[in-house]
A and B are shown apart, each in its own frame.
Chain A
Amino acid sequence: MNVLIDKLPQILAAFGTTLQLLGASALIATILGVVLGAFRVSPVPALRWFGTAYVTIFRNTPLVVVFIIFVVALPELGFQSSFFFRAVIALSLYAAAFVCEAVRSGVNAVQAGQAEAARSLGMTFSQTLRHVVLPQAIRTVIPPLASIYIALAKNTAVAEAFGVTEATYQLDNLVRDFPGSLWFLFFGIALGYVIIVFFISGIAGLLERRWAVSR
């Protein structure tokens, strides 16, 4: 127990890194995922095909393998960057595939009549999407999106084996000096993740309730 208190600053700093990883990759994954989601519902077959290919590839590849390709092997192609940045790239590309799916099913959940009405007003495809379909889709998208962010928060832990000293790394790091405190360290660090997960699902619940009223 003392270890947890003595090393609290170190553990908290590591959770800071975890949160930075989460924040940066959540942002990039969301943007990329929405673009890919738009590809997947677009009338242009080539874009649809690209979106589908992307999702199939990244959803079926283990995150560890994505890390091997984008963190370990990327410099072979001449891209030099910090390990943090490379980890963010790997996490974002991976999570974007799931965001894309959430967006797509959200769009599909919007009543067909809504889009038809928009079109009958003469809106173009992108106008329909922007003004009518997406605002409604967001509500449906929130629960799966929250799940994706939660998964992402947990996935940042993979970075500990790829050059980033984040929270899970501290279990490895501290248990070496305090082998007797393994259980405390495990539950202490696990608690940090539990808090992050509860926080994300709490916010999602809040948004869902707020926006549900306007339906």
Chain B
Amino acid sequence: MSQQTAQPAPKPDPKGKKAPKAKKAKRVRQPKVSQSSVLFDVPGPKARRRNLIGGILAGLAIAYVLWLVLRLLYEREQITWDKWTPFANLGIIRSLGEALGLTLLAAVVSIACALVFGAVFAAGRLSDHRWLRWPSIAIVEFFRAIPLVLLIIFLFIAYGNVTERFGALVIALTLYNGSVLAEIFRAGILAVPRGQGEAGYAIGLRKSGVMIRILVPQAISTMLPAIISQCVVALKDTALGLVISAPDVVSVARRIAINPQYDNILAVGLVLAAIFIAINYGLSRLAGWLEARQRRKGRAVVQVTNIPDAGMGGAATG
């Protein structure tokens, strides 16, 4: 999902990115109370007691459910030596590590290419020439509207003998993420206060000059959190390589479960989830930190959530 910012999301401004920055800056200075304080006052002694009781009850309920799940896992012989020791096996750790390297490589390469793709097509969409703008819109909208799985399968069948599985996966990720990034870039450029561009024209710059010298430099820092969020999306989407057996961490991990000695597909799934959660959580924290820093400086931040529809598109394709 493009709206990956795991941080307490800032209140989305109804008017979105066009809001004047002063307003945003002011909001930052509000004391950092829990965002839920809108709904309830600071609890008094009575409410605190009630919340405490409620909290204990809810906590017990949650704990009970977790206990049931654990007991089920135990009864179904999912928590056994045989099923979990493979992950302590040095050979398996190394194989998984190598595969994870490939997964990360796929994500990094496709994000790098997607940045270029996104920049080109964002420029195309912002162009004054219809013959540039329309094809750009069509391409960006197309790749955001179709399932990434469909694209991966198609590319692999059509060009797999040239690109290999890895290449097909990277190209598909590039096309999809590039299209989303194009939208993010466009939103970022449009979020720069109008007066900035006008001032540029007033001193005699041409459109390209205004873009390169004025708008883009200001937009880049505001877009950074959104770009990192997109990295999370790309990383998650590498797992879709499964449909063409790309040599990523998911495929290699699945090979462990084939071995009847282990027969541990559930354990494999949980370990994979843990690996991805750890990496993505770190990235989300980074994005959140950058966003907070932007806000501290009183700059606008591109709200990925506000980018229409497919913005989250394959986002979820996770």
A–B touching in complex (CB under 8 Å): yes
A98 on interface, CB distance cutoff 8 Å: yes
Scan residues 114-147 of chain B and give those whose CB is less than 8 A from a CB of chain A.
Answer: 142, 145-147
Q: B3-16 toward A: CB 8 Å interface, digit per residue (1/0)?
A: 11010010110100
User: Does the CB pair B47–A43 fall under 8 Å?
Assistant: yes
A151 on interface, CB distance cutoff 8 Å: yes
User: Does the CB pair A150–B269 fall under 8 Å?
Assistant: no
A165 on interface, CB distance cutoff 8 Å: no
Partner of A194, one of B6, B59, B146, B277: B146
User: Does the CB pair B38–A110 fall under 8 Å?
Assistant: yes
CA distance in complex: A65, B55 (Å): 32
B306 on interface, CB distance cutoff 8 Å: yes
CA distance in complex: A171, B145 (Å): 17
CA distance in complex: A62, B11 (Å): 27
Can you report 9 A-B residue pairs in the complex whose CB atoms are below 8 A from each other? A44-B55, A65-B273, A68-B254, A68-B272, A133-B39, A151-B314, A151-B317, A157-B149, A160-B243
A147-B273 contact in complex given A63-B318, A95-B316, C-beta closer than 8 Å: no
Interface of chain B: mostly helix, strand, loop or mixed: helix
What residues on A are CB-neighbors of B76 within 8 Å?
76-78
Nearest neighbor of A159 in chain B, beta-carbon distance: B149
User: Does the CB pair B313–A151 fall under 8 Å?
Assistant: yes
Partner of B276, one of A47, A62, A128: A62
Count contacts on B: residues with CB < 8 A to the other chain: 74
B1 on interface, CB distance cutoff 8 Å: yes
User: Does the CB pair A56–B55 fall under 8 Å?
Assistant: no
User: Does the CB pair B150–A147 fall under 8 Å?
Assistant: no
User: Does the CB pair B40–A125 fall under 8 Å?
Assistant: yes
Partner of B269, one of A65, A171, A194: A65
A90 CB, nearest partner CB in chain B, Å: 11
Partner of B154, one of A62, A160, A182, A201: A182
B102 CB, nearest partner CB in chain A, Å: 15
Partner of A155, one of B35, B266, B317: B317
User: Does the CB pair A172–B147 fall under 8 Å?
Assistant: no
CA distance in complex: A73, B312 (Å): 28
A46-B62 contact in complex given A155-B317, A160-B149, A161-B149, C-beta closer than 8 Å: yes
A197 on interface, CB distance cutoff 8 Å: yes
Nearest neighbor of A185 in chain B, beta-carbon distance: B154
A31 on interface, CB distance cutoff 8 Å: no
CA distance in complex: A45, B56 (Å): 9
